[in-house]
Structure 1
Amino acid sequence: MSNQPDHQTSLISIVGTHPRDLQLLANLAPPVDDPESIFSVVGSLQHETPVTWTKMYEAEAWVTSMIRSPTGRLYAVDMEGQLHSTDTAGKWTTRDLGCPDGLIDLWVASDDELFAAGDQGDRVHFSKGKVELVRDPTNRRLNAVHGCAPNDVYMVGDKGAIFQYRDGQWAEMEPPTNYNLLTVLCISQQEIYVAGARGMLFRGSGNDWEQLKAPDINISSLAWYRGALHAAGGKDGVFRLEPHGLEQVKNLTLYRLRTIGDHLFGLGGRLVARFDGTGWWGGPLNL
């Protein structure tokens, strides 16, 4: 489908267990700016020679994020406020989470509990079939969510917004910056990383944040790989956190990173690339 001249492909999320067991979310959009015409596909990917792709699911919606639960079920959210998920047999179903302004990201604690971040500041906690929704009165976009445990979850967003979910309640943290925060990664309850525009990178938890040295780039994704923090900087490349700060390790346009098994995977446009600790391998994917 992406080879058709009236659509362009953007790879959004990659999950799985190893290069022969991957699931990939892609958006297909017209070349003109028409969000209503974006649709999404999820496919099974084997990222080895030869690379093979098999479509599993198609949604007539702009799906923004996908994650895999510990049991292997897939969950995704879209800009219509819907949750897409597979059951134990792999069948897809959808559910309206009551966020018509759209959902941007999600984190799954278990098959019974997940959290989703909204385009207009919605904070969603979905637990045992029940939706708990909290709205930001200032409508700040929330760009990312990640957790250490079901009772310790962070959401970050525009204007430095940081929210923590602890013991059933949301609390807004003192922002360490006024720049937009685009990504969050929880390593432990005491070691949380948040990052975003203009090289903003912080480590800490709660209201206690330490700024780490980074170049003036937009950090769009974080991943922990082989004992080190890695960051995607889009056209500026891939970076690793060293004692003196972020250092570029690969000049490759990647916007999203995810550690899967022994590999670090990256997505950028139609590109799927993986790093095995020694070298990078991959190329554009034709859906």
Structure 2
Amino acid sequence: MTIQKTQLEPDKQPLNFEIFNISGTSRTELYLLMHINEEPDDWETYRSAVVKITPRAIEVVYYIYNWIQSMWYSPSGKIYLASVDGEIHTNASGSWEVLSLGKYSFNYITGLPDGSIVCCGSGAGIFSYDDHQWKLLNKGLPDNCDLITIGGLSLDNLYAFGKRGAVFHYDGDKWTRLESPTSKMLVNMLPVSADEFYCCGWSGTFLIKRKSSWEKKDAPDEHNFYSMIHFEKKLLIAAGNGGIFSFDNNEILPLYRNMPASNLTVIDGNLFAVYGNAFYELNNEAWVKYEPDFGSVIK
């Protein structure tokens, strides 16, 4: 992939960019969720954009003065965004629409294998999208729980995770809090089957749940774990500036120590990573770095 760049105008001050997520169905048409701010400590200057990248062009397809916390790109090519203001932004109807779901601040949105969509956030804010409507799924949740991530295989077998190691299970009717082997914040989960999943979080936390039992794995160091992905029969873990680890032979081992990653994604059989203002693609065991000129399209 070759991306043409243009130079910033001489009097234009560069903005601060961070790639938060990368999605797509083809390596030649990628969608990036960008965070932009003029002043790092000034919340009012925070903005978000969805940027489309092809081999020939960089294009902003959505731009908003809001902090979009999570993006899910559906298999059909529809984009769903969840904001800290409790809004869902989507182009599912062909044009961008915004729906406010109330007082909640969302942290994560994703699709499930059964075709439904779920999102979670603060104040017991868990919603599902099914049959063309959003439904609140918070029966059994304490009002003060702050949920960071959610996942599962279907709406009748969901898990939600949050601060201080909180774990909740949904059986299709209500949520039940489960005993957790950690007090660290859990930020990502990866289902394997109806009875088994992995989850990871801060300070090298990596957990496996099989039916009613937990297994806790020790990481080589205490780098925060941000996301996980299955790729070529391996389970890979993004550890920020600590690199990329693999879970292999029941051990967590360093795989790409010099490859920083806050998010990992497989697109059309290719492994991508994002970190800071760049994204990377694995090509024959070598990482190719892309640094598009976002300043030329985001003003």
TM-score (norm 2): 0.86
Is the counterpart of residue 242 in structure 1 residue 248 in structure 2? Answer: yes
Return the offset for 1:124.
2.2
Deviation string 1:2-57 (CA, Å, 9 cap, x unpaired) is x65363111111111121122111010133312232111112123x5x6x321111
**What aligned pairs does 1:78-117 form with structure 2 within 5 A after superposition?**
78-89=83-94, 91-100=95-104, 102-109=105-112, 113-117=116-120
Equivalent positions of 1:188-203 (< 5 A) are: 188-203=193-208
Q: CA deviation at 1:66?
A: 0.3
Moved more, 230-239 or 145-154: 145-154
Question: After alignment, is 109-118 or 162-171 more displaced?
Answer: 109-118
Residue identity opposite 1:220 in structure 2: Y
User: Does 2:34 match 1:26?
Assistant: yes
Distance change in 2, residues 1:168/1:282 (3 Å): farther
Change (3 A) 1:71 1:205: farther
Of 257, 265, 271, the residue aligned with 1:264 is: 271
Q: Which amino acid aligns with 2:246?
A: R
- Structure 1, unmatched stretches of 5+, are none
Secondary structure of the structure 1 residue equivalent to 2:13: coil
1:20 is aligned with what amino acid?
A: T
Q: Is the 8 A contact 1:107 1:114 kept in 2?
A: yes
Measured against aligned partners, the alpha-carbon deviations of 1:94-146 in whole angstroms (never above 9, x if no partner) come to 1001134x101011238973211113442222333142152854634322122
Which residue of 63, 68, 85 corresponds with 1:58? 63
**Hey, what does 1:43 align to over in structure 2?**
51
1:178 aligns with 2:178: no
Identity %: 24
- Residue 74 of structure 1 is matched in structure 2 by 79
**How big is each residue's C-alpha offset from its partner over 1:150-193, in whole Å with a ceiling of 9 and x where there is no partner?**
32222211111112222232222211211111111112223311
Shift of residue 208 of structure 1? 2.1
- Give the letter for the 1:241 counterpart: F
Kindly indicate whether the alpha-carbon contact (under 8 Å) linking 1:184 and 1:194 is maintained by their aligned counterparts in 2. Answer: yes
Contact 1:107-1:147 at 8 Å conserved across structures: no
More strand by share: 1
Letter in 2 for 1:40: S
SS in structure 2 of the partner of residue 32 of structure 1: coil
Indicate how the Cα distance of structure 1 residues 14 and 197 shifts in structure 2: closer, same or farther if over 3 A, else same.
same
Q: Could you tell me the TM-score, scaled by structure 1's length?
A: 0.89
Amino acid across the alignment from 2:194: Q
Higher RCO structure, 1 or 2 (CA under 8 Å, sep 6+): 2
Structure 1 residues 166 and 277: CA distance shift in structure 2, 3 A: farther
Say whether residues 1:126 and 2:129 are aligned partners. Answer: yes
1:286 equivalent in structure 2: 293
| Equivalent position amino acid for 1:247 in 2 | L
- Higher mean displacement: 241-250 or 213-222: 241-250
Work out the CA distance in 1 between the residues paired with 2:62 and 2:182: 39
Number of residue pairs the alignment of both structures matches: 282
RMSD over equivalenced CA pairs, Å = 2.4
| 59-68 vs 246-255, greater mean Cα deviation | 246-255
